[in-house]
A = this chain, B = another copy of it.
Amino acid sequence: MSHQAIRFELIMDAGNGAQKAGDILIGAFAKRGNYVYIEPMIPAEISPPKRTPYSMSGVVIRVADYDISNIGSGTDLMIVEHEILLDRRLIDKEYLPGSIVLLDLGDEAKNKEAYQQAKDKAIQAGLNLITFNMDDEAKKVMGELGGNGKNMFYLGMLTKIFNVSREQLETNIRSTFKKLPEEKLKLNLFIFDSGYRCASEMPVSFEIAAHPIEGDKLLMDGNTAISMGIIDAGIKMYCGYPITPASSIMHVLAKQFPQYGGMVHQAEDEISAIGSAIGSYYAGVPSVTATAGPGISLKQEFIGLATSTETPLIVIDVMRGGPSTGLPTKTEQSDLYTAIFGCHGDNTKVVLSVANVTDCFYAPHVARYLTEKLRVPVIVLSDYLSSVSYKVFERPALVEMNSVDDIPHTVLARFGLKPLGPVEMVKDDQSVPGEVGHTRRVTGLNTSSTGQIAYTSDSNIRSHDVRNQKIQVVREAFLTPEFIGDASGDVLVVAWGSTLGSLEEGVMMLRKEGLKVSGLHLKVVYPLPMMLKDLLKNFKHVITAEVAYGDNYKSSPLAMLLRAETLVDVKSTIGEPSGRPITPQEIVTKVKEVL
């Protein structure tokens, strides 16, 4: 068989190393010239008891011979460690009809009946079930490794099934475990080989064409890309408080930032973190704070202070399932409202969203540019999916930004923007501490243009006008948004954030069928381009794709904004708060229902 793109999964109990195995494997895929996109599957608890449904952990990997932007619509093949996980994973219905399930019978003795039920369930679901068993020698070696190493067996299987070079794998295993004593390494390699052999006897094999990848390619997840972007954007201060799935930005920076002259400050809570970010920027040192879910709610009061004092502020919100603690390790796009409207009083801010790793890298540059030019808060919305998924992508050009005027127009254009026109400030003096003759005080109270407290109507109206005029400056800096497909037709699907990949693929599938469907993706989600109304009018139906709740009366967040701004009957047709990304197939199916 030869495939353009294939998606497979390795599902194991948490703590058994599925993610490590996946990392090693995709390194080899990438090396030989495949594009890959990985989404780890992480339980909300650290290491829940094994052989329970909540212990499900693993990786979903999509490999292709072309640049892929999303995890795909369904799984072609999965290796599952035991029956409980199979049973659990089948609930999600993410398999393709007729796809292959390789079930390890290793635990069969523990619960024969349950195994049978899980197997029956898989077969009833129309899956192609194949069972296997580790050979006794591999099991013995696992014993010597203290029960570890099963992931190496599965890795061997996958290496064989996907016809990846065994040598490359060995090299990768060696470099991954380079701290391990040679003896232990050998045992791991032994298990790997057993797995390889095991798969050789199976009637399962996939061939994915591999071209030598041109140019300079990187492999990175979204949060790492944001961290690197922060460094490249010349930001020098990170203030944060740990929270899933934002924490890894802080982790990466904690290691790397000092080498580039930056500092990481772990505050006592999210409120303190944003306060320190504001202090740093007031003092002239570009800073950023990142958070998720509950953290963005806590930061709202300080966001208002930044607005009022005209202090630059960048807040990154890596969205997860809500409301409240919600689903901390699942993806969602429900923080758009809180990002735009969360703070009391009139809100003026810019909200960016990131579609992929490259966007993650450049979002800090654009955020810094906007917040320093406008002196209004800039919120960057990423999400769980973007934060943990990593993919092979073209090396982005470094900016090595020192001043915001260094920003390349191409970077702004990536977010649909041209350079901003002139911006008026509420307060005339915007000097930085240390500037002699410029001492100035800022306050959350209303002020006149001199910065003095002012309670009169005209002064308060002026402050509101000036701040809102800044947002108008952004509206005037929009490039005409580009469509996926034509600028008119039967259905337009509008999306934002990490949904881009599936949007592109879904729309392309529909267009291949000759349907008049187009896509539109927004990276600046607030404010919206003024020409949107005219653009949307050229379609019979406009619907959005968002991983968020929406019904006939309550629109999903972007749909609601679009309706209010354009008065077009935009429907929130695609997406639900499922914790899982929207797939290309979902887009295809839902659009067809509309047509």
Q: Which residues of A approach B to under 8 Å, CB–CB? A: 43-44, 54, 91-92, 293-294, 296-298, 300-301, 304-305, 307-309, 317, 319, 321-330, 332, 334-335, 337-338, 340-347, 443-446, 455-458, 460-461, 464, 468, 471-472, 475, 527, 530, 548-549, 551, 553-555, 560-561, 563-565, 567-569, 576-580
Most buried by B among A326, A332, A455, A461: A455
Question: Are B345 and A446 in contact, with the CB atoms below 8 A?
Answer: no
Chain B residue numbers with a CB within 8 Å of A561 are: 564
Question: Are A346 and B334 in contact, with the CB atoms below 8 A?
Answer: yes
Chain B residue numbers with a CB within 8 Å of A444 are: 294, 323-326
Min C-beta distance of A40 to chain B, whole Å: 15
Question: Are A579 and B338 in contact, with the CB atoms below 8 A?
Answer: no
Question: Are A323 and B304 in contact, with the CB atoms below 8 A?
Answer: yes
Quick one: given A297-B301, A321-B460, A569-B567, are A44 and B455 in contact (CB under 8 Å)?
yes
A169→B200 CA distance, assembly (Å): 105
Question: Are A527 and B554 in contact, with the CB atoms below 8 A?
Answer: yes
Question: Are A300 and B338 in contact, with the CB atoms below 8 A?
Answer: yes
Chain B residue numbers with a CB within 8 Å of A334 are: 344-346
Min C-beta distance of A582 to chain B, whole Å: 12
Of B293, B319, B549, the residue contacting A464 (CB under 8 A) is B549
Closest to A458 in B: B91
Question: Are A455 and B345 in contact, with the CB atoms below 8 A?
Answer: no
The count of identical subunits is: 2
Of B304, B329, B475, B551, the residue contacting A553 (CB under 8 A) is B475
CB-CB nearest 4 A-B residue pairs: A322-B345, A323-B345, A324-B444, A325-B444
Chain B residue numbers with a CB within 8 Å of A567 are: 563, 567-569
Quick one: given A468-B551, A567-B563, are A456 and B297 in contact (CB under 8 Å)?
no
A458→B568 CA distance, assembly (Å): 31
Most buried by B among A304, A324, A565: A324
Quick one: given A334-B344, A342-B341, A446-B327, are A577 and B301 in contact (CB under 8 Å)?
no
Chain B residue numbers with a CB within 8 Å of A527 are: 553-554
Closest to A578 in B: B457
Question: Are A92 and B457 in contact, with the CB atoms below 8 A?
Answer: yes
Min C-beta distance of A301 to chain B, whole Å: 4
Quick one: given A327-B445, A460-B327, are A549 and B468 in contact (CB under 8 Å)?
yes
Min C-beta distance of A62 to chain B, whole Å: 19
Question: Are B327 and A307 in contact, with the CB atoms below 8 A?
Answer: no
Quick one: given A293-B345, A475-B553, A564-B560, are A325 and B443 in contact (CB under 8 Å)?
yes
Quick one: given A298-B301, A308-B324, A330-B455, are A554 and B341 in contact (CB under 8 Å)?
no
Question: Are A554 and B468 in contact, with the CB atoms below 8 A?
Answer: yes
Chain B residue numbers with a CB within 8 Å of A43 are: 455
A468→B572 CA distance, assembly (Å): 15
Chain B residue numbers with a CB within 8 Å of A560 are: 564
A460→B577 CA distance, assembly (Å): 7
Question: Are A321 and B345 in contact, with the CB atoms below 8 A?
Answer: yes
A102→B503 CA distance, assembly (Å): 70
Quick one: given A308-B323, A444-B324, A554-B527, are A549 and B330 in contact (CB under 8 Å)?
no
Question: Are A308 and B294 in contact, with the CB atoms below 8 A?
Answer: no
Question: Are A300 and B342 in contact, with the CB atoms below 8 A?
Answer: yes
Question: Are B446 and A326 in contact, with the CB atoms below 8 A?
Answer: yes
* Cross-chain pairs A/B with CB under 8 angstroms, 20 sampled: A91-B456, A91-B458, A293-B344, A294-B344, A297-B342, A297-B344, A298-B301, A304-B324, A305-B324, A321-B345, A325-B443, A327-B446, A329-B455, A338-B345, A341-B342, A460-B578, A461-B577, A468-B549, A527-B553, A564-B564
Chain B residue numbers with a CB within 8 Å of A326 are: 308, 345, 444-446
Quick one: given A335-B344, A461-B578, are A297 and B293 in contact (CB under 8 Å)?
no
Min C-beta distance of A95 to chain B, whole Å: 14
Question: Are A455 and B335 in contact, with the CB atoms below 8 A?
Answer: no
Chain B residue numbers with a CB within 8 Å of A341 are: 337-338, 340-342
Closest to A563 in B: B564
Min C-beta distance of A178 to chain B, whole Å: 35
Of B294, B305, B455, the residue contacting A579 (CB under 8 A) is B455
Min C-beta distance of A182 to chain B, whole Å: 40
Chain B residue numbers with a CB within 8 Å of A455 are: 43-44, 54, 327, 329-330, 579
A455→B445 CA distance, assembly (Å): 44
Min C-beta distance of A190 to chain B, whole Å: 36
Question: Are A346 and B308 in contact, with the CB atoms below 8 A?
Answer: no
Question: Are B342 and A553 in contact, with the CB atoms below 8 A?
Answer: no
A576→B457 CA distance, assembly (Å): 9
A322-B344, A460-B578 known; 6 new pairs, CB 8 Å cut-off, are A91-B456, A323-B344, A324-B445, A329-B455, A475-B553, A567-B567
Question: Are B345 and A342 in contact, with the CB atoms below 8 A?
Answer: no
Chain B residue numbers with a CB within 8 Å of A468 are: 549, 551, 554
Chain B residue numbers with a CB within 8 Å of A461 are: 576-578
A505→B262 CA distance, assembly (Å): 61
Chain B residue numbers with a CB within 8 Å of A337 are: 337, 340-341, 347
A458→B92 CA distance, assembly (Å): 8
Min C-beta distance of A101 to chain B, whole Å: 19
Of B324, B551, B565, the residue contacting A345 (CB under 8 A) is B324
Question: Are B460 and A579 in contact, with the CB atoms below 8 A?
Answer: yes
